[in-house]
Structure 1
Amino acid sequence: MEKKYGSKVDAWLLGVLYVVLFACLLPLFYDGALVVGVIAVVLLNVLVTAWLFSYRYIVSDTQLVVKVALFPPKRYDINAIQSIRRTRCPLSAPAASLDRLEIRIGNDTLLVSPLRKREFVDDLCQRSKNKIEVSI
């Protein structure tokens, strides 16, 4: 049975993105295109919000699947997971929060930010045939 976990979304991240989008579209307001500017700001804010809330982590019997909006899903073998630890690493990742988990899979590192961290980690540990080193 597979389980789905949504990503935690930082409110400050939404605020920063909204301010940046508004600032980029500000010239439209000065060129007399007020209606176009308002529509563009609202539309882009809705798209960015939908994109940030689209992050999903799916744990199946053998795989961890990471889905983000329209991008193709990435699949990771749960049995290849070596360790999971808490991090606040700001590197680009399929995570909408800086309250993250670093998952070591072979030579790769995956950064995720599931809402229910403890349940997510427990789920991965139960499904893995190997012992996962956990420090969260």
Structure 2
Amino acid sequence: MKNACVCVASLLLLGTPSGTLLAWNPFERKSSFHEVALRDAELASIAVSAGWSAQAGETLLLELHNKLPGPVLCAGATVRLLSGKVMNKSFSPKLYVPAMAARQGGLAGVAKGQMKDYSIQCACWKRSDTGPCENPLAPSNP
């Protein structure tokens, strides 16, 4: 009987015989939202100002103004240099920009006078891939 209890406990703790883990999280919130990369039209709604400060010529400073109806999360930017080299830089931590708000971030290692152009990588939360950006934490959203 003791072996049977150990066997059942092992199955519950380690997983089912097929190898799938059983998991339950009391803090998990079911949501109909998922994170989706911004389309070109949505990226056009993010106004970006870029430059360098006099004190930090090796850090590209970006200010993002989110004009979308939901918040966005920007992971970083792709920077093309005058030399033709392409660098992928990350915001650390990622840059969260609420709807109708602005936030600033910096990308280290991009020297003043060496950048040709850049593009940012951002995502927002949607109910469907083609739907509008929405705030999944708004009280009106399940």
TM-score (norm 1): 0.22
- Greater helix share, structure number: 1
Q: Which has the larger radius of gyration?
A: 2
Structure with a larger share of its residues in strand: 2
